[in-house]
Amino acid sequence: MADTDLSARQQAEGHKSLLQLETEFNAKPRTAVLSIQGSQIRALAQFPSFFQTYPSPVILNAAILKLADWFHHGNNVVRMHIYKVLESVSKHHLTEIINVDETMRRILPVLGSNDPTARALTLRVFGCMAIIYKDNLDVQHGVQQSTDRFETEAAIWASDQFSSRSTTFLSVMFMRIQSKLADPTTSFDIQLKLIKILRHMHSDIAMARQAKQLCLRLLDEKNSEERLVIVVLRTLTQLLSVALIDQREQVSDSEDRITMQLISFFLYINRLIDFFLIYYTMDVYSYNKAYFKISNILVIMILCLVSPILR
């Protein structure tokens, strides 16, 4: 009985606090620049602590619905701050949302906007909420549609979030990655981001083998740049360290296991070298020269180590 009374009081306090935030958000400012209101941003900045203070599913659901409303009707600055709020929300809290479909119906129409920035922010919001929309076909379809560069980067980020949670999304995304990598108009940076998504394709054996073969084909290309080789090797290492495929080829003896460990070790050392050179080297020329030499040496070592596995 006491626990019930305590929960009821917490819910009452939560609703009261949410009402105060809503009042502050809707307050009319004395001055407004480009329809951006400081009171709105202040109200949104309080939501992360609000979620921590009132983790009740009822309160969380009401707050998320309110944020979805503001996202639908607000400008891009408000949408950006709402995205930051949702990015900070615990995944555990998101799984307790009750009106999942209603939240989606309030956010999804923004994907039909003529503003590419609004569409990009919507994609990032859905990426933050991928844990609850991982199997929603409407959201998945929206994530796969992008035209503007800024929107494309947001779509790739959202796709990475969905790919880590949905096997059905991965099967469709793999074909899109293949076509994008084969498209000569795809920028180099976009290619690198797409390749990184392949690390998630370990839940299905057939898909994992396809991802592995795609990585090997990229390594076989004669004109592969150093950055691409490093990204492919890192992605391939992450994929094969989880995927239960080709066990006889990968870990048939201790030498292969040691080789895989050494690859991960050298990648880790490479990151440490980057950190050391960036923060402790004052001479820019010396940094570039040292980085070039060390990176090339590490790439050669990694290629020598990984070559027995990739045969």
Q: Please report which residue ranges of 146-283 form alpha helices under DSSP H.
A: 149-163, 167-182, 188-197, 205-220, 226-242, 247-251, 254-280
Q: What is the pLDDT, as a whole number, of residue 245?
A: 65
Q: What is the dihedral of CA 10, 11, 12, 18, to 10 degrees?
A: 110
Q: Is the pLDDT of residue 18 over 50?
A: yes
* Of 188, 195, 191, residue with least CA distance to 163: 195
Q: What is the pLDDT, as a whole number, of residue 196?
A: 92
What percentage of the chain reaches a pLDDT higher than 90? 24
How sure is the predictor about 125, in pLDDT bands with cuts at 50, 70 and 90? very high
Q: What average pLDDT does range 112-138 have in this prediction?
A: 89
Phi and psi at 95, nearest 5°, equal -70, -15
Better-scored residue on pLDDT, 16 or 286: 16
| Per-residue CA distances from 134 to 24, 102, 129, 168, 196 (Å) | 33, 16, 8, 9, 19
Among 32-46, 123-137, 193-207, where is mean pLDDT lowest?
A: 32-46
Better-scored residue on pLDDT, 15 or 144: 15
Tens digits of residue pLDDT in 69-108: 999 998 999 999 999 999 998 888 888 888 888 999 999 9
At the fourth CATH level, the homologous superfamily of domain 1-164 is: Leucine-rich Repeat Variant (1.25.10.10)
What percentage of the chain reaches a pLDDT higher than 70? 73
